[in-house]
Amino acid sequence: MQWFKDVVNFLSQPQYYILLSMAGLLGLVYTRVAWNKAGLLAGTLALTLFFSLSALDPNFHIIISKADNIPIIIMVYLVWLALWGALSQGVANDDRMAMGLPSDEAQEGGKKVWCWPDLVYIELLSMLLVGALLVVWSVVLKAPLEEPANPVLAPNPSKAPWYFLGLQEMLVYFDPWLAGVVFPSLIILGLMAVPYIDPNPLGNGYYTFRQRRFAVTWFLFGFVVLWCVLIFLGTFLRGPNWNFFGPYEVWDIHKLEALVNVNLSEYFWIRLLGQPLPSFWLVRELPGFVAVGAYFSVAGWVLSRTYLRPMHRQMSRLRFAILMLLFLAMMALPIKMVLRWLFNLKYLIAIPEYFFNI
Protein backbone atom coordinates (compact mmCIF):
# COMPACT_ATOMS: atom_id res chain seq x y z
CA MET A 1 0.00 0.00 0.00
CA GLN A 2 2.90 2.32 0.73
CA TRP A 3 3.70 2.72 -2.95
CA PHE A 4 0.13 3.76 -3.56
CA LYS A 5 0.29 6.32 -0.79
CA ASP A 6 3.60 7.57 -2.13
CA VAL A 7 2.11 7.93 -5.61
CA VAL A 8 -0.93 9.78 -4.26
CA ASN A 9 1.22 12.00 -2.07
CA PHE A 10 3.44 12.77 -5.06
CA LEU A 11 0.55 13.53 -7.36
CA SER A 12 -1.08 15.70 -4.74
CA GLN A 13 1.66 18.30 -4.95
CA PRO A 14 -0.14 21.45 -6.05
CA GLN A 15 1.29 21.59 -9.56
CA TYR A 16 0.22 18.04 -10.40
CA TYR A 17 -2.95 18.26 -8.39
CA ILE A 18 -4.22 21.33 -10.22
CA LEU A 19 -3.12 20.13 -13.64
CA LEU A 20 -4.63 16.69 -13.06
CA SER A 21 -7.88 18.25 -11.87
CA MET A 22 -8.04 20.42 -15.00
CA ALA A 23 -7.21 17.51 -17.26
CA GLY A 24 -9.67 15.27 -15.41
CA LEU A 25 -12.51 17.75 -15.70
CA LEU A 26 -11.91 18.52 -19.35
CA GLY A 27 -11.48 14.84 -20.09
CA LEU A 28 -14.73 13.91 -18.39
CA VAL A 29 -16.64 16.73 -20.02
CA TYR A 30 -15.44 16.01 -23.52
CA THR A 31 -15.27 12.20 -23.55
CA ARG A 32 -18.77 11.82 -22.11
CA VAL A 33 -17.80 8.49 -20.47
CA ALA A 34 -19.10 9.40 -17.05
CA TRP A 35 -22.52 10.79 -17.84
CA ASN A 36 -24.56 7.61 -17.63
CA LYS A 37 -25.73 5.33 -14.82
CA ALA A 38 -22.53 3.28 -14.90
CA GLY A 39 -20.52 6.47 -14.69
CA LEU A 40 -22.52 7.67 -11.72
CA LEU A 41 -22.00 4.35 -9.98
CA ALA A 42 -18.31 4.21 -10.85
CA GLY A 43 -17.66 7.81 -9.81
CA THR A 44 -19.54 7.53 -6.53
CA LEU A 45 -17.89 4.21 -5.81
CA ALA A 46 -14.46 5.62 -6.61
CA LEU A 47 -14.99 8.56 -4.24
CA THR A 48 -16.31 6.30 -1.50
CA LEU A 49 -13.46 3.86 -1.94
CA PHE A 50 -10.96 6.69 -1.83
CA PHE A 51 -12.34 8.16 1.38
CA SER A 52 -13.00 4.90 3.19
CA LEU A 53 -9.70 3.24 2.28
CA SER A 54 -7.76 6.42 2.94
CA ALA A 55 -9.42 6.68 6.33
CA LEU A 56 -7.31 3.65 7.30
CA ASP A 57 -4.27 5.88 7.07
CA PRO A 58 -3.83 7.53 10.48
CA ASN A 59 -2.82 10.93 9.09
CA PHE A 60 -5.67 11.12 6.63
CA HIS A 61 -8.03 9.91 9.34
CA ILE A 62 -7.08 12.78 11.62
CA ILE A 63 -7.96 15.27 8.91
CA ILE A 64 -11.23 13.85 7.64
CA SER A 65 -12.57 13.03 11.10
CA LYS A 66 -12.36 16.64 12.23
CA ALA A 67 -15.88 17.94 12.73
CA ASP A 68 -15.03 21.01 10.62
CA ASN A 69 -14.07 18.88 7.64
CA ILE A 70 -17.13 16.66 7.39
CA PRO A 71 -18.99 19.30 5.32
CA ILE A 72 -16.14 19.30 2.80
CA ILE A 73 -16.55 15.58 2.23
CA ILE A 74 -20.27 16.11 1.80
CA MET A 75 -19.46 18.94 -0.60
CA VAL A 76 -17.29 16.65 -2.70
CA TYR A 77 -20.20 14.23 -3.14
CA LEU A 78 -22.71 16.99 -3.79
CA VAL A 79 -20.52 18.64 -6.42
CA TRP A 80 -20.03 15.31 -8.12
CA LEU A 81 -23.75 14.50 -8.05
CA ALA A 82 -24.75 17.94 -9.29
CA LEU A 83 -22.16 17.75 -12.03
CA TRP A 84 -23.35 14.35 -13.03
CA GLY A 85 -26.99 15.37 -12.92
CA ALA A 86 -26.46 18.38 -15.16
CA LEU A 87 -24.14 16.78 -17.64
CA SER A 88 -25.95 13.46 -17.94
CA GLN A 89 -29.14 15.35 -18.69
CA GLY A 90 -27.29 17.59 -21.14
CA VAL A 91 -25.70 14.65 -22.92
CA ALA A 92 -29.02 12.82 -23.09
CA ASN A 93 -30.66 15.90 -24.57
CA ASP A 94 -27.81 16.29 -27.06
CA ASP A 95 -28.38 12.72 -28.21
CA ARG A 96 -32.12 13.24 -28.51
CA MET A 97 -31.69 16.45 -30.43
CA ALA A 98 -29.12 14.81 -32.71
CA MET A 99 -31.84 12.34 -33.60
CA GLY A 100 -34.21 15.21 -34.26
CA LEU A 101 -36.22 14.73 -31.07
CA PRO A 102 -37.02 17.59 -28.68
CA SER A 103 -35.18 17.77 -25.38
CA ASP A 104 -36.60 16.16 -22.27
CA GLU A 105 -37.50 19.49 -20.82
CA ALA A 106 -39.21 20.65 -24.04
CA GLN A 107 -41.27 17.49 -24.06
CA GLU A 108 -42.47 18.15 -20.57
CA GLY A 109 -42.80 21.83 -21.27
CA GLY A 110 -46.57 22.03 -21.54
CA LYS A 111 -47.15 20.45 -18.19
CA LYS A 112 -48.37 22.64 -15.30
CA VAL A 113 -48.81 21.70 -11.63
CA TRP A 114 -50.55 23.26 -8.63
CA CYS A 115 -48.65 25.51 -6.35
CA TRP A 116 -50.47 23.81 -3.48
CA PRO A 117 -50.06 21.01 -2.73
CA ASP A 118 -47.54 19.97 -5.38
CA LEU A 119 -44.90 22.64 -4.77
CA VAL A 120 -45.41 23.96 -1.28
CA TYR A 121 -46.07 20.55 0.21
CA ILE A 122 -42.82 19.04 -0.97
CA GLU A 123 -41.00 22.16 0.10
CA LEU A 124 -42.44 21.64 3.57
CA LEU A 125 -41.40 17.99 3.49
CA SER A 126 -37.88 19.01 2.42
CA MET A 127 -37.73 21.49 5.25
CA LEU A 128 -38.71 18.82 7.74
CA LEU A 129 -36.18 16.35 6.39
CA VAL A 130 -33.32 18.84 6.23
CA GLY A 131 -34.29 20.25 9.64
CA ALA A 132 -34.18 16.80 11.20
CA LEU A 133 -30.84 16.11 9.53
CA LEU A 134 -29.36 19.36 10.80
CA VAL A 135 -30.56 18.66 14.35
CA VAL A 136 -29.01 15.19 14.30
CA TRP A 137 -25.84 16.58 12.78
CA SER A 138 -25.51 19.30 15.40
CA VAL A 139 -26.01 16.80 18.20
CA VAL A 140 -23.70 14.10 16.88
CA LEU A 141 -20.89 16.31 15.58
CA LYS A 142 -20.30 18.98 18.17
CA ALA A 143 -19.53 22.43 16.90
CA PRO A 144 -15.74 22.73 16.82
CA LEU A 145 -15.68 25.64 19.23
CA GLU A 146 -12.47 26.48 21.01
CA GLU A 147 -11.43 28.83 23.77
CA PRO A 148 -11.44 32.56 22.98
CA ALA A 149 -8.75 33.29 20.42
CA ASN A 150 -5.35 34.10 21.80
CA PRO A 151 -3.15 36.18 19.49
CA VAL A 152 0.04 34.92 21.08
CA LEU A 153 -1.01 31.36 20.35
CA ALA A 154 -2.43 31.46 16.85
CA PRO A 155 -3.67 28.12 15.54
CA ASN A 156 -1.38 26.67 12.93
CA PRO A 157 -2.48 26.29 10.18
CA SER A 158 -4.76 29.30 10.36
CA LYS A 159 -7.42 28.54 7.81
CA ALA A 160 -10.14 30.68 6.35
CA PRO A 161 -13.71 29.41 6.59
CA TRP A 162 -14.06 26.48 4.24
CA TYR A 163 -15.89 28.43 1.52
CA PHE A 164 -13.01 30.91 1.33
CA LEU A 165 -10.23 28.36 1.09
CA GLY A 166 -10.06 28.94 -2.66
CA LEU A 167 -9.37 32.60 -2.00
CA GLN A 168 -6.78 31.70 0.57
CA GLU A 169 -5.04 29.48 -1.97
CA MET A 170 -4.98 32.39 -4.40
CA LEU A 171 -3.14 34.39 -1.74
CA VAL A 172 -0.20 32.06 -2.17
CA TYR A 173 0.26 33.26 -5.72
CA PHE A 174 -1.02 36.82 -5.72
CA ASP A 175 -0.64 39.94 -3.70
CA PRO A 176 -3.40 40.30 -1.10
CA TRP A 177 -5.06 43.22 -2.82
CA LEU A 178 -5.41 41.16 -5.98
CA ALA A 179 -6.34 37.83 -4.41
CA GLY A 180 -8.37 39.35 -1.62
CA VAL A 181 -10.01 42.34 -3.29
CA VAL A 182 -9.79 42.47 -7.06
CA PHE A 183 -10.38 38.84 -7.95
CA PRO A 184 -13.31 38.26 -5.56
CA SER A 185 -14.94 41.44 -6.87
CA LEU A 186 -14.33 40.28 -10.44
CA ILE A 187 -15.92 36.92 -9.62
CA ILE A 188 -19.06 38.60 -8.33
CA LEU A 189 -19.19 41.24 -11.07
CA GLY A 190 -18.41 38.62 -13.71
CA LEU A 191 -21.20 36.31 -12.58
CA MET A 192 -23.57 39.26 -12.57
CA ALA A 193 -22.41 40.23 -16.06
CA VAL A 194 -22.83 36.77 -17.59
CA PRO A 195 -26.49 37.21 -18.69
CA TYR A 196 -25.60 40.47 -20.44
CA ILE A 197 -22.49 39.16 -22.13
CA ASP A 198 -24.17 36.00 -23.25
CA PRO A 199 -27.45 36.65 -25.12
CA ASN A 200 -27.29 33.22 -26.76
CA PRO A 201 -30.76 31.68 -26.30
CA LEU A 202 -29.56 28.12 -26.82
CA GLY A 203 -29.80 26.04 -23.71
CA ASN A 204 -32.56 28.14 -22.20
CA GLY A 205 -34.87 25.88 -20.24
CA TYR A 206 -33.08 22.67 -21.02
CA TYR A 207 -29.73 21.04 -20.32
CA THR A 208 -27.28 20.75 -23.16
CA PHE A 209 -23.56 20.49 -23.59
CA ARG A 210 -23.02 20.37 -27.31
CA GLN A 211 -24.79 23.64 -27.99
CA ARG A 212 -22.89 25.50 -25.26
CA ARG A 213 -19.42 23.93 -25.23
CA PHE A 214 -17.51 27.12 -24.34
CA ALA A 215 -19.91 28.36 -21.68
CA VAL A 216 -20.30 25.01 -19.91
CA THR A 217 -16.62 24.11 -20.08
CA TRP A 218 -15.25 27.36 -18.74
CA PHE A 219 -17.96 27.81 -16.14
CA LEU A 220 -17.17 24.35 -14.84
CA PHE A 221 -13.47 25.15 -14.99
CA GLY A 222 -14.00 28.22 -12.85
CA PHE A 223 -16.42 26.62 -10.44
CA VAL A 224 -15.10 23.09 -10.07
CA VAL A 225 -11.36 23.53 -10.53
CA LEU A 226 -10.73 27.06 -9.36
CA TRP A 227 -13.23 26.95 -6.50
CA CYS A 228 -14.23 23.48 -5.28
CA VAL A 229 -10.96 21.75 -6.05
CA LEU A 230 -9.08 24.54 -4.29
CA ILE A 231 -11.37 24.20 -1.27
CA PHE A 232 -10.53 20.51 -1.18
CA LEU A 233 -6.85 21.38 -1.48
CA GLY A 234 -7.07 23.97 1.26
CA THR A 235 -8.84 21.55 3.59
CA PHE A 236 -6.93 18.36 3.06
CA LEU A 237 -3.58 19.29 1.59
CA ARG A 238 -2.54 22.49 3.34
CA GLY A 239 -1.02 21.96 6.77
CA PRO A 240 0.94 23.95 9.35
CA ASN A 241 2.59 27.15 8.06
CA TRP A 242 0.39 26.74 4.97
CA ASN A 243 2.90 24.18 3.79
CA PHE A 244 1.77 21.56 1.39
CA PHE A 245 1.24 18.00 2.61
CA GLY A 246 0.14 14.88 0.75
CA PRO A 247 -3.05 13.33 2.12
CA TYR A 248 -1.09 10.55 3.85
CA GLU A 249 1.69 12.69 5.25
CA VAL A 250 2.17 13.78 8.85
CA TRP A 251 1.35 17.44 9.40
CA ASP A 252 4.78 18.25 10.72
CA ILE A 253 4.91 21.76 12.11
CA HIS A 254 8.66 21.88 11.53
CA LYS A 255 8.49 21.14 7.80
CA LEU A 256 10.49 23.72 5.89
CA GLU A 257 10.21 24.75 2.29
CA ALA A 258 12.91 26.79 0.67
CA LEU A 259 11.60 30.25 -0.19
CA VAL A 260 13.57 31.00 -3.35
CA ASN A 261 11.02 32.81 -5.48
CA VAL A 262 12.20 35.82 -7.48
CA ASN A 263 10.53 38.59 -9.42
CA LEU A 264 10.40 38.92 -13.16
CA SER A 265 12.53 42.06 -13.02
CA GLU A 266 15.34 40.01 -11.50
CA TYR A 267 15.04 37.41 -14.25
CA PHE A 268 15.20 40.05 -16.89
CA TRP A 269 17.84 42.45 -15.61
CA ILE A 270 20.15 40.27 -13.58
CA ARG A 271 19.91 36.83 -15.07
CA LEU A 272 19.29 37.73 -18.70
CA LEU A 273 21.14 41.00 -19.09
CA GLY A 274 23.69 40.46 -16.34
CA GLN A 275 23.32 43.93 -14.83
CA PRO A 276 22.03 45.23 -11.51
CA LEU A 277 18.38 46.21 -11.11
CA PRO A 278 17.61 49.74 -12.34
CA SER A 279 16.97 51.98 -9.39
CA PHE A 280 13.88 53.66 -10.84
CA TRP A 281 10.93 51.37 -10.34
CA LEU A 282 9.23 52.15 -13.62
CA VAL A 283 12.29 51.08 -15.60
CA ARG A 284 12.87 48.14 -13.32
CA GLU A 285 9.35 46.79 -13.77
CA LEU A 286 9.13 47.54 -17.46
CA PRO A 287 9.36 43.85 -18.45
CA GLY A 288 6.50 43.10 -16.07
CA PHE A 289 4.29 45.84 -17.47
CA VAL A 290 5.05 44.62 -20.97
CA ALA A 291 4.24 41.02 -20.00
CA VAL A 292 0.97 41.88 -18.28
CA GLY A 293 -0.05 44.29 -21.01
CA ALA A 294 0.78 41.70 -23.65
CA TYR A 295 -1.21 39.08 -21.83
CA PHE A 296 -4.37 41.09 -21.82
CA SER A 297 -4.02 42.51 -25.36
CA VAL A 298 -2.16 39.95 -27.41
CA ALA A 299 -3.76 36.90 -25.80
CA GLY A 300 -7.21 38.39 -26.42
CA TRP A 301 -6.35 39.17 -30.01
CA VAL A 302 -4.94 35.71 -30.63
CA LEU A 303 -8.01 34.05 -29.09
CA SER A 304 -10.32 36.16 -31.20
CA ARG A 305 -8.53 34.90 -34.30
CA THR A 306 -8.41 31.25 -33.26
CA TYR A 307 -10.36 29.48 -30.55
CA LEU A 308 -13.01 32.14 -30.12
CA ARG A 309 -13.21 33.23 -33.71
CA PRO A 310 -16.92 32.32 -34.16
CA MET A 311 -17.83 34.00 -30.90
CA HIS A 312 -15.84 37.09 -31.80
CA ARG A 313 -17.82 37.35 -34.99
CA GLN A 314 -21.17 37.11 -33.27
CA MET A 315 -20.45 39.46 -30.39
CA SER A 316 -20.14 43.20 -30.25
CA ARG A 317 -16.60 44.47 -29.59
CA LEU A 318 -17.40 45.72 -26.09
CA ARG A 319 -19.03 42.46 -25.09
CA PHE A 320 -16.08 40.51 -26.39
CA ALA A 321 -13.62 42.79 -24.61
CA ILE A 322 -15.43 42.32 -21.28
CA LEU A 323 -15.58 38.59 -21.85
CA MET A 324 -11.86 38.54 -22.57
CA LEU A 325 -11.08 40.57 -19.49
CA LEU A 326 -13.01 38.22 -17.25
CA PHE A 327 -11.78 35.10 -19.00
CA LEU A 328 -8.12 36.18 -18.95
CA ALA A 329 -8.38 37.30 -15.34
CA MET A 330 -9.70 33.85 -14.46
CA MET A 331 -6.95 32.16 -16.43
CA ALA A 332 -4.38 34.35 -14.70
CA LEU A 333 -4.63 32.12 -11.64
CA PRO A 334 -3.63 28.82 -13.25
CA ILE A 335 -1.06 30.64 -15.37
CA LYS A 336 0.50 32.26 -12.34
CA MET A 337 0.53 28.88 -10.62
CA VAL A 338 2.37 27.31 -13.51
CA LEU A 339 4.87 30.17 -13.62
CA ARG A 340 5.48 29.77 -9.91
CA TRP A 341 6.03 26.02 -10.15
CA LEU A 342 8.17 26.12 -13.26
CA PHE A 343 10.20 29.29 -12.73
CA ASN A 344 9.82 30.16 -9.03
CA LEU A 345 8.36 33.41 -10.25
CA LYS A 346 7.25 35.57 -7.36
CA TYR A 347 5.70 38.59 -9.04
CA LEU A 348 5.48 39.78 -12.61
CA ILE A 349 5.38 43.34 -11.43
CA ALA A 350 6.74 44.10 -7.99
CA ILE A 351 6.65 47.70 -6.79
CA PRO A 352 7.07 47.48 -3.03
CA GLU A 353 7.52 51.27 -3.07
CA TYR A 354 3.78 51.59 -3.73
CA PHE A 355 2.67 48.27 -2.28
CA PHE A 356 1.72 47.16 -5.75
CA ASN A 357 2.46 43.66 -6.94
CA ILE A 358 1.03 41.46 -9.66
Partner 1 sequence: MARSQTLHEYNIPRLNGWFAALSVLMVVCVIGMVVDDYNRDWKRYQRDYYRLERERLQKAEAQELEKIGPQQLDAARQAVTQAQAELQGHQDRLAAAQARLHQTSGDWYVRDQSSRFLKAAYDVVKYEFGAAQERHDADAAMKLRSKIEGMEDELSRRRLASEAAAARRDSVSAQLADITRQHDDAAAKLDELTKSVRTMEKRLLKIAPTFSNRLLNFAMLDFIAPSIRIQQVLPPNLTYTVNFGVTARIDRCQTCHLAIDKAGWEDAPQPFRTHPKLDLFVGSNSKHSLADFGCTECHGGRPNGLDFNRTAHTPNDEEEAARWRKQYGWKPMHYWEWPMFAAHNYESGCLKCHQGTRHIGGAPQYDRGRDLVERSGCYGCHKIAGYEGLPKIGPSLLQVARKLTPAFAYRWINDPKLVRAHSKMPRVFNLENVVGEYRGDADYWSKRSAAEVNGIVAYLFDKSARGAYAMPAGQRGNAARGKELFESIGCRACHMIGPEQDAKQDWAVTPRERGPNLEAVATKTSPEWIFNWIRDPRQYDSKTAMPNLRLTEQEALDVTAYLTTLRGSDDTPYRRSAPDSAMVEAVIMDYLTNTQPVAVAREQLTKLAAHQRAVLLGEKIIARQGCFGCHEIAGFEKTLPIGTELTEEGSKPVARLAFNNVRLEPSLEAWLTHKMLHPRNFDEGMHMLPGEKARMPEFGFSEPQAQAIVGNILAWSKNTVPLDRTKRVDSRGELIAKGERLIAFRNCRGCHVIEGEGGAIYDVIPEPAMRPPNLANEGAKVQPDWLVEFLHGPFPIRPWVQVRMPTFGFTPEEAGTAANYFMALAKKNDDPYPLPALQSFPHAKDGAQFFAIYKCQQCHPAKVTAASAADRSQLAPNLAMASKRLRPDWVVAWLTDPQTQMPGTNMPTFFYADGEYFFPEAPQHIEALRDYLMTFSSQVASSSSQRGSAKGK
What's the min distance (Å) between Cβ of 138 and partner 1? 7
In this structure, are residues 269 and 275 in contact, taking their beta carbons and an 8 Å threshold? yes
Residue choice 42, 53, 56, 122 for contact with partner 1 (CB under 8 A): 122
- Closest approach, Cβ 210 to partner 1, in A, equals 29
Site string for partner 1, 251-270 (x = CB under 8 A): --------------------
Contact 220, 35 (CB under 8 A): no
Q: Is the peptide bond before 157 cis (omega within 30 degrees of 0)?
A: yes
Report d(CA 295, CA 173) in Å as an integer.
Answer: 17
Name residue 244's beta-bridge partners: 238
Q: Which of 98, 99, 153, 260 binds partner 1 (CB under 8 A)?
A: 153
Return d(Cα 91, Cα 309) in angstroms, integer: 25
Examine residue 146 and tell whether it contacts partner 1 (CB under 8 A).
yes
Minimal distance in Å, beta carbon 147 to partner 1? 4
Determine, following the binding rule CB under 8 A, whether residue 113 of this chain makes contact with partner 1: yes
Q: Taking Cα atoms as reference points, which of 28, 63, 65, 31 lies closest to residue 43?
A: 28
At CA 186, angle to CA 183 and CA 192, rounded to 5?
Answer: 150
Options 37, 110, 147, 201; binder of partner 1; rule CB under 8 A: 147
Q: Of these, 27, 85, 102, 131, which contacts partner 1 (CB under 8 A)?
A: 131
352 prior amide bond cis, ω within 30: no
149 near partner 1, judged by CB under 8 A: yes
Radius of gyration for the chain, computed over Cα atoms and rounded to the nearest angstrom: 24
The closest of 212, 219, 210, 223 to 78, measured between CA atoms, is 223
Of residues 62 and 283, the one with the C-beta less far from partner 1 = 62
- Of the candidate residues 37, 112, 271, 317, the single one contacting partner 1 (CB under 8 A): 112
Size of the site for partner 1 (CB under 8 A): 25
250 sits near partner 1 (criterion: CB under 8 A): no
Q: Exactly one of 46, 124, 250, 302 binds partner 1 (CB under 8 A); which one?
A: 124
Cβ closest to partner 1, residue 113 vs residue 260: 113
Q: How far is Cα 186 from Cα 193, in angstroms, rounded to an integer?
A: 10
Torsion from C-alpha of 271, 272, 275, 277, nearest 10 degrees: -70
For partner 1, give the closer residue by CB, 147 or 353: 147
Contacting residues toward partner 1, per CB under 8 A: 112-114, 117-118, 121-122, 124-125, 128-129, 131-132, 135-136, 138-139, 146-153
